[in-house]
Every structure is written in C-alpha cells, then in structure tokens.
Amino acid sequence: MIKIHPIPAFNDNYIWIIHNQHQAVVVDPGDALPVLRYLDDNNLQLVTILITHHHNDHVGGNAALLEKFSVPVYGPGNESIATLTHRISEGAEIQINELSLSLRVLDTPGHTAGHIVYYGTINENSVLFCGDTLFVCGCGRIFEGTALQMYASLQKLMSLPDTTQVYSTHEYTLGNINFSRTVDPNNTSLENLEIKMKELRHRGIPTLPSSIATEKANNPFLRCDQPEIISSVSNHVDQALSEPVEVFAALRQWKNTF
C-alpha cells in the first residue's frame, strides 16, 4: 500500500510525499527541513524528487536534500532549475521502480512558462500532482504565460477521468471558495462544499486532495462556458463576454484584485 501524505511548509504549502513505508518520493520540496524530519521520523529513504515549476517555494529544498540523498530530480525542461538531473516535458513517462510507480508528464504552461504536472495511478486511483496550476476552486496566477495558455492547460486537466484525485501544492481553499461564491452565488454544490471545507479547516485537516469531478462542479475557472459564470463575469466587467477564454481572462483578473 502506498501512502500520499502532505508535509506542511511555509504558510500554506504542502509538499506531497509518496511512500511505501520504506522508500519515498517528494513533489516540490520548497523547504528541506520538514521533509528531512518526516523522512527521519518515519525511517524513509528518499529515492526521487519531482518538480512542477521553478518557483523557490517548490524547489528551494532540493540542494539540501541532495546533500543527504543522491537521487534523480525530474523537472520542466525549459525552466532554469540548477538542481535538475532529468529535464522533461509532455509525453515523458517516469518509472520509479522502488515504488512500482509510473507517472506521465503533461505540459501546463500559464503560471510559469514551463510548468508541468504528473499524472498516474496509485493504489488503483488516478492521481494528479498539479503544482500551482489547479487549486480547489481556483487556479494559479498567470505570471509567465498567457490567459489562453492557462485556459488550455486547465482544459487539459479537465479531460482526465472525473475520479482523478487532485494534489495541489497550496491550502488556498477557503479564500478561493469565498471568491467562487461571489462569482457563482446560486451554485448549491459550492455552498455545500464550503460547509464541508470550513469544517475540515476548523479541525486543522488539509482540504486536499480534491477531484476533477469536484472541481468541474465548483471551480469557476473550469466553468467559463456556463451561462451563470459568463453572466456574472460580464456584469463585473460591464461588457458582454461570450468566448469562454475571454471569460476566463476577465475572471482571473477579477480574482487578482478581489
């Protein structure tokens, strides 16, 4: 049985660790210290590091982890990350033999120009490690790409099976739901999700993983072709929008100043 565990880091990051009680893979170790502590406490040996994009809160722990463990570091081929040993992009298949794990790489530019995500099957569930591309009821800020790129990246993730478990790297859920409820006030599914997520946070429990089905039903950034989102965003910008990608661009802009 493989376990997927969130190691909290900084204010609101999660460093996901995938392990079989002996060997472990970490995704986006922005800080080495909590990872080393978790490995030590659980008698785990690090065997692989996976990176989604170059931001320091995702790669900052690589050097210190590599001092202790000489392991492969996979990451986006067209981003400048000094500690990578394997530069990869869409179509790559990563085999992690220690965990009998195979992960497929997808390109999801937008948050950064070379952002990638990892998709595979763990314990018979589809799983997605999506970095800062998709959050519960939100998506990453568009720092380096265009709105069109980010929109296409999110559409690509939406094409994965509905049951896919979504492992994002930040606990942004309650803030995102607050914004989503403003955009989409009559969505009863979203209303119910808010109750559930507030309860989890109240008890100090991470709101992740989400699922593709949950995001399709609640995340306004994935619902830019729905009449209620189109109308709400059009009202906000005081302009009749119709193309989903225009709606998406205006919605992302709205969130930036919310």
Catalytic residues: 53, 55, 57-58, 111, 132, 170
**78 and 114 Cβ atoms separated by less than 8 Å:** yes
- Cβ distance to Zn ion smaller for residue 132 or 215: 132
- Which DSSP category does 255 fall into? H
Q: Residue 90 CB, nearest distance to Zn ion (Å)?
A: 19
- Alpha carbon distance 56, 34 (integer Å): 15
- Cβ distance to Zn ion smaller for residue 107 or 132: 132
Q: Which stretch binds Zn ion (CB under 5 A): 14-22, 27-35, 55-63, 202-210?
A: 55-63
Q: Residue 253 CB, nearest distance to Zn ion (Å)?
A: 18
User: Applying CB under 5 A, does 28 fall inside the site for Zn ion?
Assistant: no
User: Applying CB under 5 A, does 132 fall inside the site for Zn ion?
Assistant: yes
Q: Which stretch binds Zn ion (CB under 5 A): 86-94, 126-134, 218-226, 235-243?
A: 126-134
Classify each residue of 138-162 as buried b or exposed e, where b means 16 or more C-beta atoms within 10 Å of its C-beta.
Answer: bbbebebbebebbbbbbebbbebee
CA atoms within 13 A on the CB side of 104: 9
Going by C-beta distance under 8 Å and a sequence separation of 6 or more, which residues neighbour residue 11?
none
Q: Residue 115 CB, nearest distance to Zn ion (Å)?
A: 8
Q: Which stretch binds Zn ion (CB under 5 A): 49-57, 84-92, 215-223, 235-243?
A: 49-57
Write out the two tokens for 26. 């970490």
Please pick, from the candidates 55, 181, 252, 255, the single residue that binds Zn ion as defined by CB under 5 A.
Answer: 55
- Cβ distance to Zn ion smaller for residue 172 or 248: 172
Q: Residue 44 CB, nearest distance to Zn ion (Å)?
A: 26
Q: Which stretch binds Zn ion (CB under 5 A): 83-91, 125-133, 187-195, 236-244?
A: 125-133
- Cβ distance to Zn ion smaller for residue 53 or 181: 53
User: Applying CB under 5 A, does 181 fall inside the site for Zn ion?
Assistant: no
Classify each residue of 213-240 as buried b or exposed e, where b means 16 or more C-beta atoms within 10 Å of its C-beta.
Answer: ebbebbbbbbbbeeeebbebbbeeeeee
- Cβ distance to Zn ion smaller for residue 139 or 222: 139
Q: Collapsing DSSP states into helix, strand and coil, what is residue 216?
A: helix
- Alpha carbon distance 101, 50 (integer Å): 13
* Interface contacts to Zn ion, rule CB under 5 A: 55, 132
